[in-house]
Chains A and B, each alone.
Chain A
Amino acid sequence: MDYLDRLENESIYIIREAYNKYEKLGMLWSAGKDSTTLIHLTRKAFLGRVPIPVIYIDTYFHFQEMYDFRDKCVKMWDLNLIISNNKDAVKKGITPKDKLACCTARKTEALKQTIEEYGFEALLLGIRRDEHGIRAKERFFSPRDRNFRWNYQDQPPELWEQYKTRKEEGQHLRVHPLLSWTEIDVWKYIQRENLPVNPMYFARNGKRYRSLGCEPCTQSVKGNAGTIDDVIKEIEESKVGERSGRAQDKEEAYAMQKLRALGYM
């Protein structure tokens, strides 16, 4: 059993635990590489099926290629797709001009509404520990309250494969089957399993995307990687964070807003 097998089997075990504990289980899917890998692992866990709804948060600002890729996968894997969006935000005309308000309304609020509407008790998410500093503190099963708050300092212990599967009133559980994976692991697995990926991850005109989001707020990185092999090589040599195109967006937007109010700009 090689190391990708080990990661795969750990993930399958976690997905099956979540499915065993919760009837109202859903999965977040952005059509990006991580959550698409998660769908593949789910198909493995359930012998070719995806027996849980797949939630796509649609901000209406995604790249056309993401929608195309999404629709292709839905068809190919016969997914039960739930499109989550916040109609209020659209009506109120909240746009990426105010990035922070836009993210909150079109992503966070949209998901809150969907969780309530469908009564989801637990969600599978494709986050990884190596994405971001604070994620190193994530657990495989992690409770969130109604406002999505996460008390990371006082989390229940999680020993071995005994996860916190019980949830309290008003909470939902976030389940992270890919927590132990790294960005490179995901790419190697995609290659091994021959999974479809959005072509935006590969270079066109010297630029490519390392992480996908909304068109107005997602930046490409310089790179010539045209194949998965190239991508893996590029990541191995890079010192820049995967989310460097996105991580500071919210703060930056807010800071800019503040500086404008203070007359600096």
Chain B
Amino acid sequence: MEEQDLRFVIVGHVDHGKSTLIGRLLYDTGSLPEDKYQSIKEAVEALGREFKFAYLMDHLEEERSKEATIDTAQTFFKSKKRRYTIIDAPGHVEFVKNMITGASQAEAALLIVDVSQGVQEQTRRHAYILSMLGIEQVIVVLNKMDLVNYSQKKFVEVRTQVSDFLKSIGITPSLFIPISAVEGDFVAKKTDNLSWYDGLTILEGLDTFKKKVVPIGKPLRLPIQDIYDFDGEKIAVGQVVSGSIRKGDKIIILSDRKEVTIESLKEFGKNPIEAYAGKSIGFTISDSIQLRRGQIISHQKDLPNVTTSFKGHLFWMDDKPYEKGESITFKCATQETQCNLIIEKVFDSSTLEVMSKGEGKIENRQVANVTIKTSAPVVIENFNYIPELGRFVLVRKDCCAGGIITG
């Protein structure tokens, strides 16, 4: 068994069967809390009734959505290969903020589509968000095959529809799996109902997802998080987001472009000479230059972009729209400054229909292509190259938008 769990999100239109699928996964992998299941089973037997599986799942979801004091919703289960964590992602349109938060923590996604209904509003919106967040590992689940008599023709038809749509937003799913979560077909076990399908079950499909690899081969980027003054020694700390840093390296501090030498790397209980991407490290420099939070460390070669104007693509998720001219806080890694947006194109996050070009407003759940003008220079990267410096949030009191840098 792999040591680390894989975190994935299940997204899709409301009522397309997300909770039933979660329930079914938990049930078929033996992850439901035993006592509760036991009392239900006993009562079913005593009353001489059939086990209504669909009921149970509704209740599970409801308890999850309430502040359930009952120990129900373990969103953890395991396959033979590894443990999984399902990240909560509600399907209702009002909860799109929560969906984005969930998806931003995920390494992979299942996109669930009711085969009797095909692509719907939240299917499109959620898929679009996945693509924007750069979640590349996606499996499409065509649920409720029982409602279409397990028709292969219907499966192929909807698969084509979903596939065409996903292609248009740059997602290539690794698999399309027909299932019935209610009946348990091809969730954890293969059944005769879908005898024409010789592919993987969901559980097998999940096992094909790969863990994220930390980018070591890329140039050094180390955003300074804080400066500590311990016993008269000034130690800068931060997490290396890409590349590696060595003791004695000549480094450039951006955006000031000062060159200094790394005198020592600091880690508790160790005396490291090198730190790779992913590491939260401390360091001291040979000069008496004042370091501060928000500076980015790089090597002389492969310098990142330092600019006050760049293009981005953002998802607005606040009730109060962005209006032309508003100064708003821009945060990227540990950098924080004010910015203004020049709105180029605004579109609906579900239909992708263009709402306006160059007008002055971005409303809740709209997506926009913008040019961001910052009041101080920032160090950025294209999202596809170094995501940690290619993604940003815009903040008023709370986070109002998340986005990626496209150029």
- A residues apposed to B, CB below 8 Å: 1-6, 8-9, 12-13, 16-17, 19-20, 43-49, 129-130, 132-134, 136-137, 139, 152-153, 155-162, 164, 166, 168, 180, 182, 188, 239-241, 243-244, 247-248, 250-251
Which residue of B is nearest A19, CB measured? B226
| B280 and A130 form a contact (CB under 8 A) | no
Known: A20-B293, A44-B268, A155-B98. A132 touches B278 (CB 8 A): no
What is the bound-complex CA distance between A8 and B281, given in angstroms?
12
What is the bound-complex CA distance between A216 and B67, given in angstroms?
26
* B51 lies within 8 A of chain A by Cβ: no
Give the dominant DSSP class at B's interface: mixed
What is the bound-complex CA distance between A180 and B317, given in angstroms?
25
Which of A48, A155, A156, A162 gathers the greatest number of chain B CB atoms within 10 Å?
A162
What is the bound-complex CA distance between A9 and B276, given in angstroms?
11
Q: Which residues of B contact A8 (CB under 8 A)?
A: 280
A127 to chain B, nearest CB (A): 15
A13 to chain B, nearest CB (A): 5
What is the bound-complex CA distance between A240 and B30, given in angstroms?
11
What is the bound-complex CA distance between A239 and B268, given in angstroms?
37
- B residues apposed to A, CB below 8 Å: 3-5, 7, 30-31, 33-34, 63-65, 67-76, 83, 85, 87-88, 95, 97-98, 100-101, 104, 214, 225-226, 228, 230, 235, 237, 239, 266-269, 276, 278-280, 282, 293, 317, 331, 333, 388, 391-393, 395, 397-399, 402
Which residue of A is nearest B104, CB measured? A159
| B88 and A132 form a contact (CB under 8 A) | no
Q: Which residues of B contact A160 (CB under 8 A)?
A: 104, 388, 391, 393, 402
| B398 and A156 form a contact (CB under 8 A) | yes
Which residue of A is nearest B241, CB measured? A161
User: Which of B65, B69, B276, B398 is A251 in contact with, Cβ under 8 Å?
Assistant: B69
| A159 and B101 form a contact (CB under 8 A) | yes
What is the bound-complex CA distance between A136 and B68, given in angstroms?
11
Q: Which residues of B contact A157 (CB under 8 A)?
A: 97-98, 100-101, 317, 393, 398-399, 402
What is the bound-complex CA distance between A251 and B68, given in angstroms?
12
